Amino acid sequence: MKILVMNSGSSSLKFQLFNLPDLTVSASGLIEQMGDEQSSARLIYFDSAGTQQTLKQTVPVAEHRQAIIIMADLLRESGTMNDIQELAGIGHRVVHGGEAFHEPVLIDDRVISAIEELIPLAPLHNPANLTGIRVALEQAGTVPQVAVFDTAFHQSIPEHGYLYALPYKLYQEQKVRRYGFHGTSHDYVSKQAAQFIGQPITELNIISVHLGNGTSAAAIRGGKCIDTSMGLTPLEGLIMGTRSGDLDPAILFYLARETDMDMDDLDGMLNKESGLKGICGENDMRTITELAGQGDRLARLALTMFCYRLKKYIGAYMAALGGVDCIVFTGGIGENSAIVRQMSCQGLERLGISLDKEKNTKQRNAISEIQATDSIVKILVVPTDEELEIATQTLRVITER
């Protein structure tokens, strides 16, 4: 039997198939640019000899229904899975679970309605996630399906941490509060870190920093999140590829009054034209590091700003937690950029945070520790695996059913 994990985006479907009982990866695939002539579908799987193979197609894929059929065809063609009945469960990534979901749940009509009601809070993501769920239910109605929410891990944040200092009725009536995202990743890497250190997670204070195209930090006490940097939306907090992160909200009123930018322009600017891209014109950290190395002033500035903001959050979360045992770096940048890790920990030696230069720059593809021998705080690089965490949680929900 197998578990299928689906991540349905607005124009893409990412999926991964896991073998039971050990949750080894059987195949993974991506269908992208749906709705475009150039749509492509790719499957990576192991053939009967155990050799990794890739199956690629360029076919116009109009929408999710067709994408799911193509996914099933690819799995069948490659001999990875012949029949839907081989599935013990399907796990769906759902971006926004609001206050309704503190943990993964078995999908039924009530859950679908609740995800639908949350669309105003995640207008780009929840509709796509829902479409994926609906089509999967149509195609594989007998297979139990589970929703795993990006926000659920952060539901343990106390009231004083999740509320904004706005009129309280905005929380009561509009549900304006901090929700946080990347929860599945923070949950996964913090558990991995505790296991690596060999201490129960219930005894550890961990700061987890997920640095991908989107970036966020989480303060985790005893395995429970007590604060996180993303807010009502993924725009708040750290500097990101194209998102500003924290800023003075009055900048927006000022720009609305002084320029001809309207609300959509401001929204687009903050989400798509700001962050690293806003400062230096590039949003890919590899390019930025390369340009900075060649002496490009704005690339250097973007890199410095990115790491400075991160350093401030590490300091803030040390205070919130009352001390930290372990800092975890994850996500494309967190796992691969030695310079970002070095610059964001630099100068924190008096707080017990000290990196080992050699360990930090060594190539790795597994969990590893990079702190100096005299560092009080452990510093770990942990490859994230949101799909595996979704598969694990899906398996737990269907087993407990």
Q: How far is the CB of 335 from ligand ADP (least distance, A)?
A: 7
19 binds ligand ADP (CB under 6 A): no
Q: How far is the CB of 286 from ligand ADP (least distance, A)?
A: 4
91 binds ligand ADP (CB under 6 A): no
29, two tokens:
């695939």
28 binds ligand ADP (CB under 6 A): no
10, two tokens:
């607005």
Q: Which of 109, 150, 284, 296 is catalytic?
A: 150
Residues 180, 151 contacting (CB under 8 angstroms): yes
97 binds ligand ADP (CB under 6 A): no
Indicate the residue type of 168: Y
Q: What are phi and psi of 339, to 5 degrees?
A: -70, -40
Which of 12, 28, 213, 361 binds ligand ADP (CB under 6 A)? It is 213
Indicate the residue type of 314: I
Q: What's the CA gap between 309 and 237, in Å, rounded?
A: 8
Which of 89, 212, 231, 275 binds ligand ADP (CB under 6 A)? It is 212
78 versus 151: smaller Cβ distance to ligand ADP: 151
Q: Which one of 69-77, 164-172, 280-288, 290-298 is the stretch in contact with ligand ADP (CB under 6 A)?
A: 280-288
Residues 159-178 close enough to bind ligand ADP by CB under 6 A: none
How many beta carbons lie within 10 A of that of residue 157, not counting itself?
Answer: 21
177, two tokens:
């509060």
In the shown chain, the binding pattern of residues 309 to 348 toward ligand ADP, with x for contact by CB under 6 A and - for none, equals ----------------------xxx--xx-----------
Residues 218, 357 contacting (CB under 8 angstroms): no
32 binds ligand ADP (CB under 6 A): no
Q: How far is the CB of 331 from ligand ADP (least distance, A)?
A: 4
284 binds ligand ADP (CB under 6 A): yes
80 versus 274: smaller Cβ distance to ligand ADP: 274
**Cis status, amide bond into 123, omega within 30 of 0:** no
Q: What are phi and psi of 340, to 5 degrees?
A: -65, -45
Q: Which one of 16-24, 64-72, 102-110, 284-292 is the stretch in contact with ligand ADP (CB under 6 A)?
A: 284-292
Q: Which one of 144-152, 211-219, 266-274, 319-327 is the stretch in contact with ligand ADP (CB under 6 A)?
A: 211-219
Q: Residue 380 region, left (φ>0) first, then alpha (ψ -120 to 50), else beta?
A: beta
Q: What's the CA gap between 286 and 306, in Å, rounded?
A: 14
Closest-approach residue to ligand ADP (CB): 332
The string over 65-92, giving b where at least 16 C-beta atoms fall within 10 Å of a residue's C-beta and e elsewhere, is ebbbebbbebbeebebbeebebbbbbbb
Q: Which one of 8-16, 70-78, 210-218, 346-354 is the stretch in contact with ligand ADP (CB under 6 A)?
A: 210-218
9 binds ligand ADP (CB under 6 A): no
Residues 48, 66 contacting (CB under 8 angstroms): no
User: What is the CA angle 89-91-97, rounded to 5?
Assistant: 140
286 binds ligand ADP (CB under 6 A): yes
11 binds ligand ADP (CB under 6 A): no
Residues 232-271 close enough to bind ligand ADP by CB under 6 A: 241
Q: Is 108 a catalytic residue?
A: no
Secondary structure of 200-264 as H, E, C letters: CHHHCEEEEEEECCCEEEEEEECCEEEEECCCCCCCCCCCCCCCCCCCCCHHHHHHHHHCCCCHH
Q: How far is the CB of 147 from ligand ADP (least distance, A)?
A: 20
Q: Which of 221, 259, 6 is nearest to 131 (CA)?
A: 6
150 versus 325: smaller Cβ distance to ligand ADP: 150
Task: Return residues touching ligand ADP (CB under 6 A).
Answer: 212-214, 241, 284-286, 289, 331-333, 336-337
Catalytic residues: 150
